[in-house]
Amino acid sequence: MSDRILVLVRHGQSEWNLKNLFTGWRDPDLTEQGVTEAKRAGALLKAEGLAFDVAFTSALTRAQRTLALVLGEMEQDDVKTFGSQALNERDYGDLSGLNKDDARAKWGEEQVHVWRRSYDVPPPGGESLRDTVARTLPYYVQEILPGVLRGEATLVAAHGNSLRALIMVLERLSPEGIMKRELATGVPIIYRLKADSTVEDRRDLAA
């Protein structure tokens, strides 16, 4: 059995990251910095000598473009790729499109903190992280994990919270533990899995 490699990468900086807006399922593109971050991620992965067999991304532009830039930098544009809403960012509901400071002014800092950092309290009209896990995990188990366990080197380009959902399962983190986990934009995380799908090794490729 060849190595069971799974690489997760959060999309590069988006236009709304730059403006400090709640993004969720809204669909802004990458900034110039985001493009640079995605290309750098590709260069780092290329330097590792990785050759991907399959890639997954969300239905949102910033993740799809990040994936394309990473694979382009690696000269692996022909990798078969699948996109799904199951890997979309957490839906921030009524907060989507709002500046985070404006949201604090409207609802209060404590309430906005609860919506952002609790595991199971959703913002109005949106999803909690628990909701995001409930949507993302079945897709991972059914569509992504089987290939990894067969030895297919797999790349997932997605979002802070949909990737947190995967990391929570991979690293067996508690709800409290995963809420404290920050994911930098454009930094690949390389997992090597055991045959039972638990993690044998993890490395963050910070530039």
Tokens 């979002």, located at residue: 159
How far is residue 152 CA from its own chain's centroid? 19
Listed in sequence order, the residues at least 6 apart from 191 whose beta carbon sits closer than 8 Å to its beta carbon are: 5, 6, 7, 8, 170, 199, 201, 202
Per 3-state DSSP, what percentage of the chain is helix, strand, and coil (rounded to 5)?
A: 45, 15, 40
Q: Which of 73, 89, 127, 159 is catalytic?
A: 89
55 contacts 154 by C-beta, under 8 angstroms? yes
| C-alpha to C-alpha distance for 207 and 179, rounded to whole angstroms | 24
37 catalytically annotated: no
Give, rounded to a whole angstrom, the gap between the first and last alpha carbons of the chain. 30
Q: Which of 11, 73, 127, 159 is catalytic?
A: 11
How far is residue 202 CA from its own chain's centroid? 16
How far is residue 96 CA from its own chain's centroid? 18
| C-alpha to C-alpha distance for 74 and 184, rounded to whole angstroms | 20
109 catalytically annotated: no
Positions marked catalytic: 11, 89
